[in-house]
Every structure is written in C-alpha cells, then in structure tokens.
Structure 1
Amino acid sequence: MDRRKFLKGSALLTGLFTLNPADLLANGLKEVSNPKKKAKNIIFMISDGMSSGTLAMANLYSQNILSKNGNWMNLYHENKVSRALMDTASASSVVTDSAAASSSFGGGFRVKNGVLNIGANGEKYVPIWQKFKKAGKKAGCVTTVTITHATPAGFCVNSDSRNAENEIAEMYAEIGFDVMMGGGDEFFNPSKREDKKDVYGLYRQKGYQIFTNKGDLKKAEKGKKILGVFNSGALPYSIDRTHIPELQNTPSLAEMAQTAIDQMKDHPEGFVLQVEGGKVDWAAHANDIAALIHDQLAFDEAVKTVMDFAEKDQNTLVIITTDHGNANPGTIYGPDATKNFNSISNYKYTNEYILNAIHPDFNLQKMKDWIYETSKISLADEEAKYLLSFYSGLEKQEAGLYNYKKLPFKAYSEIQKKHNSVGWISMDHSGDYVETAVYGPGKELLPAFIKNTDLHYLMLKAAHI
C-alpha cells in the first residue's frame, strides 16, 4: 500500500484524521503487495474477552460431552486458515478495554481505554465500517450484548465515551448502517430513555425494518435495512435460553449472523459484517463457567454459519479473533481433573440465574437442594452457610463489572472449583496475546505475530481499498 495515497484518501473522510507513525502498520504490512484476489466481503468475528483457556475449555467440552471437535479448531486441523498471535494493548495500558480494542481494529490507531476512535489530542480516526460504506459496500454488526456496546461501536462511530449509548444509537441511524442487531431496547425506546426520544421512530423514518423477536428474522424484506433489538440490556446467555422457555424468543448469534449475511450478500459491491459473542466477556467477568463455555460454543456455531457461506462464496475474507483475554480461566491438574471438568455438563443454568434465585429466607436445606437441582453439586453445610451469608448481610456484597445485583459470583465459583477443576486468575481483563485466524482472499497478508491495529490495514488491503 502507498502510505501517502492511503493517508490522502483517509483525510478526505475526516478533517481530523492524523498520523501516528509508531502505530501504523507495525509489521510492515504496507510493504506486502496486494493479494491477487480481492475480498469482496469481509466478516470480522470477535469472541469478546476470550482467553486462550476459554477456547481450549469450550473445545474440550465439545469433544468430551458433545462428541465433536469445535468449528474454530477444525479450521486449524484442516489447515484452512492463516494463524497469528496478537498483542491487544491500548494506548493507555498493556491491558485494554473493549472500546480501545475495537477502536484498534476499527480506526487503525491505539486509543485510551474508554473512548471510541478518538486520539489523545482529539483526533477523530475514521471507523472502518464508514470507510467501507463510502466505498459502496453494505455494512452491519450483530452481537449478543447491546448493539450500542463498545465492540460494535468501535467499528462504526467516534465518541469520547463508550458509555454514550443513547447517542451511539442515534449515530447509527444517521450514518445508515444496513444491519444492526443485538440488545439495548433502553437506548431506542422512548418510554425507557430519560429524554423520551423515540429513536425507533427515527429508524422507521429512514426506512428500517424493526425486529424485536426471533420470529421477525424470517420476515426480513430484501433491500430494506434492519434494526433488530431483542431485549433490554444484553441478550440472554445461551445456556439459560436453552433451559428457560420464556427466553427462547431471542435469536442466537448464529441466527443473527445468517440473517445479516442473507440480507447483504447479493449487493453488487459486497458487504462487511462484524459478529460479536459479547457475553463471553461478561461470563468471564462473573467467573461463570457454564455461561462461558456455552456462549463460546454459541460463538463457535456462528463460526460455522460464517464459514459455510465463505467457503461457498470464495470471495469473503473471514477474521476470527478476540479483543482481549479475561480472567484467564483454565483446568487445574489433579487425579480427577477430567471427571471434574466433565461434570460441568450437569449445569443447567448460569451462575447468574442460580444466584439470583436465592433469597434471604432460604434455609440451609433449601440452599443445598437448589444448588444440587441446578448443577448436581452437593454442598457441605459450611459452603451452604457461606453462600447464605451473602444474602443475610453477614458477608460483604460482591462488586464487579456487570454484577449489578451484587451477586456472590466469586464465592460460588470458588466452591465450584473444588468440583469442576476450573480456576480463574481474576474477574477482569488480562493482557495476554490472543488467537487470530484468517480465511479467504487476503489470508496470506497475516504475519505470525501482529498488533491489533494491523487488522484494520489488513482488511483495507485485502479489499484493495
């Protein structure tokens, strides 16, 4: 890529775009010639907060319990992808948050944690989905958290704060993205917004179809843009959706990805799509092994959906990665490690659901019965008393990201560890190098070790933009 031509073209998109040479094309990607075959479409898949242990345990569960290898792992076994380790740091820390991480992919520059494509001196880096929209492609995002959350937003908008989700909801409509699906009704619904603004109405005025449940996916009209908002807050965890009937009207990540692909695949200029398994990150924050494994497996089903299309299409670049690690979970050595790990197949619900159902009026036996009913774990009396103490105020309530109800996630995961041989280093992000796999036109551009910003330029180069 001619760097001067690239920067000149980028400057046309924003008067505030500035160069940070130290962050640009860290591995010399600009010196690599354009791939012989141009990528017409790009699908960028992110299992948010996926440490390497998460990938390993989900695949182990798939092998041991489901009797099959995972789809992501099969891409390695069948040598279908280029593979790299990726450095995930942000401009402000060796440990990134999702906003800075997505901005690295989306804007091509490392920014401080908490902001979206805004440089240290106020520079506005053009988000990559806007670049592709300007080039004539359709663009969209699907996620299992709020569609206005940091990871989709990092590919789409500039904002001083990742928390400005009300404003981000409006930005999407103004820019005109073609398919946006996830949770976050509170950012669109006038009855839930403090300013009472009807953001759904704004989308309808612009010709969008508004989807609110899984059944709506089958009603998609070709040629019309889609806004799908299927829940207040994030979508349910996969394991809870499986076992709780009232949650089954929300779509899976694979179903949203399939609808998005079908909606955009016939566009003459092609499309770009981000697919995020956002609740993998939330499960890691909660040290919730059932939530973690089953949402990673749901992401893996989306990998199959995407790869089925890409292998047939042969014009689609697929990038599969994560934005950062979280909590570094892993299996622990011991004589019963395999048996203990396999016992996770007895878990019917997330820890969030289990712990949220406990009340201060539970007695010791009721607590023990409830834990056995939901996970086949036989609590000792002392363990049951310890858990109950969090509900009677004897133990200090736990804090933590996405733990709005102060549930004792850490306490319960420590009890589970004795039974399932899974440990965690923390309840927060980690700075580990992470897996990246690339398939399709442009996969030869991937070096063995990259910075997160490199994927921005790899996408542009693969698409000859």
Structure 2
Amino acid sequence: MNRRSLLKGGLLTGMGLPFLGIKDVAAFPMAGRKKAKNIIMMVSDGMSTGTLNIADIYSNRMFGRSSKWLGLYRDNKAVRSLMDTASASSLVTDSAAASSSWGGGIRVRNGSLNVGMNGDKPQPILQKFKEKGKKVGCVTSVPITHATPAGFCINIDNRGGQDIIAELYLGLKFDVMMGGGHKYFGAKRPGGNLIPKYLTQGYAVAESRAEMLALDKSKPVLGLFADDGMPYEVDRLSTPALIKSTPTLAEMTMKAIELMKDNKDGFALQVEGGKVDWAAHSNDISGLVFDQLAFDEAVGKVIDFAEKDGETLVIITTDHGNSNPGLFNANDGNKKFDSLQNFKHSNTWLLGQINQSFSEQKIIALIKENQGFEMKSEDVKSLLGHFKDIVPGQLYNESNLPFYEYGKILSKYTDVQWAGMNHSGDYVELTMFGPGSENLKPFVKNYELHNFMLKAAEMPEVFLVKA
C-alpha cells in the first residue's frame, strides 16, 4: 500500500471520534505470535444474543448437542469479547455502516458504504488484501451486492444501488463472490445484463449447486443462486427442488476456501448469514433459528479447517442485534418451544400461501400441516384482519404480509417473544480463534477490527490515536 492510499484510508474527520493523528506502523513485535496467513470473518447479520441462545437451546433439544459457536465457549477453545456497534450517525447501526467500520476502519453514517461524513473514502480491506497478493472473496445467503459483503469491497454513498455495486465488483476481479442477487447482474438488471461482461473478463459463473461444486481454481468465480435473497433454510430443507439446486452457506463457504487455500500468500474471506437479519425483521422464529443453525454449520466447518491449517484467524460475530427475541417462561414452556421441531416452513412462506378468501378451517389446516400446531379460531380471525392493516413499504416485506401480527400470535404457541422489528443498539458477541486471537481485548469498538485484521496479517495499520 502506498502512502497516499494509507492517508486516504485514514482520514478520520468524518468519524465522529476524537483523535490526534495518523501514522504508519511498518512492523510490530512478533515474538511468540504466529502470523495469520488466512483471515475468515463470519457475520451472522442481525443476530441478537437471544438468537444465539435460542438456536443453541434448539440444537441441544433437537440434536442432543450444542451449537458450534457456543461449543467454542464450553470447550474453552476461543477468545470472547463484546463489541460496540454504533455508526457515525446513530447509536443503532445499519448493516452498511457496520460492515464499513470493519471494511474501511472508520465509522460512517447509516446507509453509506465506506464513505465518511466528509466524503473521505478509505480503501476497503479486501482491496488491501488483494494488493498484498492474497486471494479474497465473500459468500452470503442474501444478495452478494448487499450491505455486509459490499462493506468489505467497495465505496459508494448509497447501499441501495445494488445494480451499481454489481458493476463495481466487476472491476475488482475478486476471486470468489457467491450468494443471491441474480437480478442485480442478469437480464433483469436496470442497467443491462452484466453476466456476459463477467464472462468476458474471465469469470466462471455458477447458477446452481451442481455448477458451484464443479468449479475449479482456474478462474475467479461469481456464484448467483437466487434472484434476490436465497431461500430460508427451513424452506430449503422442506423442498427437494431447493435442496438440489441451492447450496447451503456451509457448502459455499467450504467451496470458497477450497478455491483459495492453496494461494502462497493466503486468502481473506467474509462469510455472512444474511437471512438471520431478514427473519428477525419479520419476527419469523423458524426462519431465524434454522438460518442461525445454517450459519453455525458453516462455523463448525471453518473451525475444523482452521484447526488443521494452523495459520487461519477466524472471527465470528454479528453487525448488530435485531428485534431481541427471547424464550420466556410460561405454562408448558418446554413443550411449546419444542413445537418448533415440527416447523416445515417459514412465516414468509406460510403467509404467502394464504388467500384472504380462505375459510378459517382451511387456514388452520394449512398452519397445522406446515408449522405443526393448531391455531385457535380467534387467532385466525385476528390474522386475517391484519392483512388489511399492512402499510406498504415495510423493510423486507415487499409482499405486504402481516409479519408483526403473526409473530405475536406465534409467541403464544412457542413462548418466543420479540422486542420489536428492527435493529438494536446492543453490544454484541465477538469470538476469535487462531493466530492473533490472543490480542483480542474484552471490549472493542467495531472499527477497531479493521486494524486488528491487518495486524494479524502483518500488514501496515492505519492508527487511530484517540485524545
């Protein structure tokens, strides 16, 4: 990295933070510490602490084993911290500002991707790693152009320009980019189909699980496995066609590692369980738990790789809480919670099947078949009434479905309750495993992870010296 790009990346006047200055640090004392040749940052987007807890409880009761993430704590195999998630404009961040804090090393306003309050544009961390010879990539269960992967990759003032982000990715020629979001690349893209351009630039493009599994290391990879977000895991598991066509987050993650791990200078990979956030916004308990466990499966695979490799720093966290679900005490609480084991479909899928002309009995039968419990007549009447109350334009609710009301109704049958339908300002779990993890402090601020990763990889840092 040249001096100019370092200074560009370190302009701090837009951060809303006190500091004295910036300096290069070419080297750090390395005695007793092994370099992280590879860095894998795993983000369960919008994961409140309650989500982590509920998924672990479900795993113990359903499968007789802890989640992989909490298993790291129980086995004393990882270092644990809390992280402050604020943005430059709010105590409650969005995913764009949160990922930018990691990717660019500064706090930006909500909605922005690596563009500071005064217009400064720090070089995103995957660009830095790419310049140093590492292979780099992102995988996600939402569009690959969504805020969390984009925050590691590009600078743009509006996270909503996903068709523009798709074109910015083309110029970067990163090694692996996989997830949903076909509509931002293909024939439906407002600015024209980009896929022929990716092919011309030497990319391999995969559009199914089979095509992904067949990929080799000869070309950079663009994987697009859904038009928008990928299906909720609970829906995928209940739909044979989706099982065949759609890779899991763990499969995408391990394929990305396979494609990059033999590079002599190592690799850097961001992994996002993005549908956890979407489920929390929808108060969708089965969507939430199954996608958290799909993320957890990827955690387990990555930790297995890192243990054998010995040169990989694994960072596991979330960008912010969302809706703060919790399991609350009530009569027959264990039995109610265990009813989640009968869910075959998410609330999004189920509500999308309901025609408001359906009889009560037809709706009761539909819910019984797909979510395993018998809804009371008064709850069906309430649900049908709220289809008419939906205000268009709600976040992640293009179909205008009564998520809030249905989440409230389900809480009576599962004992899982919600604090809201949006992001929270909670401090969040931050877990590390591998070389460099020994330097994690008990409490950090999100933007500090940028330098943490650079230091672990023995790369120059941008130092933020607070007054």
TM normalised by structure 1 equals 0.93
Distance 1:15 1:399, change over 3 A: closer
Instruction: State the percentage of identical aligned residues.
Output: 51
Distance 1:10 1:240, change over 3 A: farther
Residue in 1 that maps onto 2:420: 426
Q: CA deviation at 1:374?
A: 1.4
- Whichever residue aligns with residue 12 of structure 2, its letter is L
1-structure distance, mates of 2:339, 2:28:
49
Residue in 2 that maps onto 1:4: none
Matches within 5 A, 1:81-120: 81-120=78-117
2-structure distance, mates of 1:13, 1:168:
23
- Whichever residue aligns with residue 437 of structure 2, its letter is K
From 198, 202, 209, the counterpart of 1:203: 198
Question: Contact 1:397–1:407 at 8 Å: present in 2 too?
Answer: no
Range with greater deviation from structure 2 (291-300 or 358-367): 358-367
Structure 1 residue 454 corresponds to structure 2 residue 426: no
Distance 1:14 1:123, change over 3 A: same
2-structure distance, mates of 1:192, 1:96:
31
Structure 1 residue 78 corresponds to structure 2 residue 71: no
Residue in 1 that maps onto 2:248: 252
Structure 1 residue 441 corresponds to structure 2 residue 451: no
Structure 1 residue 148 corresponds to structure 2 residue 145: yes
From 170, 178, 182, the counterpart of 2:175: 178
From 346, 350, 353, the counterpart of 1:357: 353
Residue in 2 that maps onto 1:366: 362
Structure 1 residue 301 corresponds to structure 2 residue 297: yes
Residue in 1 that maps onto 2:462: none
Question: Contact 2:326–2:417 at 8 Å: present in 1 too?
Answer: yes
1-structure distance, mates of 2:264, 2:247:
28
Distance 1:25 1:240, change over 3 A: farther
Structure 1 residue 228 corresponds to structure 2 residue 260: no
1-structure distance, mates of 2:19, 2:270:
22
2-structure distance, mates of 1:23, 1:251:
45
Distance 1:446 1:56, change over 3 A: same
From 52, 55, 75, the counterpart of 2:52: 55
- Whichever residue aligns with residue 333 of structure 2, its letter is A
Question: Contact 2:163–2:190 at 8 Å: present in 1 too?
Answer: no
2-structure distance, mates of 1:399, 1:339:
36
Question: Contact 2:141–2:249 at 8 Å: present in 1 too?
Answer: yes
- Whichever residue aligns with residue 421 of structure 2, its letter is M
1:379-414: CA deviations, max 9, x gaps? 2221111222244x3x44575310111101111111
Structure 1 residue 126 corresponds to structure 2 residue 123: yes
Structure 1 residue 241 corresponds to structure 2 residue 236: yes
- Whichever residue aligns with residue 441 of structure 2, its letter is P
Range with greater deviation from structure 2 (315-324 or 378-387): 378-387
Residue in 1 that maps onto 2:401: 407
* Equivalent pairs, count: 451
- The secondary structure found in structure 2 opposite 1:301 is helix
Structure 1 residue 12 corresponds to structure 2 residue 5: yes
2-structure distance, mates of 1:23, 1:313:
40
Question: Contact 1:398–1:409 at 8 Å: present in 2 too?
Answer: no
1-structure distance, mates of 2:240, 2:402:
25
Structure 1 residue 322 corresponds to structure 2 residue 318: yes
- The secondary structure found in structure 1 opposite 2:63 is coil
Range with greater deviation from structure 2 (244-253 or 51-60): 244-253
Question: Contact 1:118–1:158 at 8 Å: present in 2 too?
Answer: yes
- The secondary structure found in structure 2 opposite 1:65 is helix
1:60-119: CA deviations, max 9, x gaps? 000011111111111111111111000000000000000000000100000000000001
1-structure distance, mates of 2:386, 2:315:
43
- The secondary structure found in structure 2 opposite 1:85 is strand
Distance 1:24 1:208, change over 3 A: farther
Q: CA deviation at 1:15?
A: 4.7
1-structure distance, mates of 2:153, 2:232:
25
- Whichever residue aligns with residue 4 of structure 2, its letter is A
Question: Contact 2:37–2:265 at 8 Å: present in 1 too?
Answer: yes
From 128, 132, 136, the counterpart of 1:139: 136
- Whichever residue aligns with residue 75 of structure 2, its letter is E
Question: Contact 1:326–1:427 at 8 Å: present in 2 too?
Answer: yes
Question: Contact 2:386–2:405 at 8 Å: present in 1 too?
Answer: no
Structure 1 residue 66 corresponds to structure 2 residue 60: no
Distance 1:170 1:455, change over 3 A: same
- The secondary structure found in structure 2 opposite 1:76 is helix
2-structure distance, mates of 1:17, 1:351:
44
Unpaired stretches in structure 1, ≥5 consecutive residues: 1-7
Distance 1:396 1:162, change over 3 A: closer
RMSD of Structure 2 on Structure 1 (CA): 1.9
Question: Contact 1:23–1:453 at 8 Å: present in 2 too?
Answer: no
- The secondary structure found in structure 2 opposite 1:411 is helix
- Whichever residue aligns with residue 54 of structure 1, its letter is T
2-structure distance, mates of 1:152, 1:341:
33
Moved over 6 A (4+): 23-26
Question: Contact 2:313–2:435 at 8 Å: present in 1 too?
Answer: yes
2-structure distance, mates of 1:450, 1:200:
40
Q: CA deviation at 1:455?
A: 0.9
- Whichever residue aligns with residue 156 of structure 1, its letter is C
Distance 1:203 1:323, change over 3 A: same
Distance 1:16 1:316, change over 3 A: closer
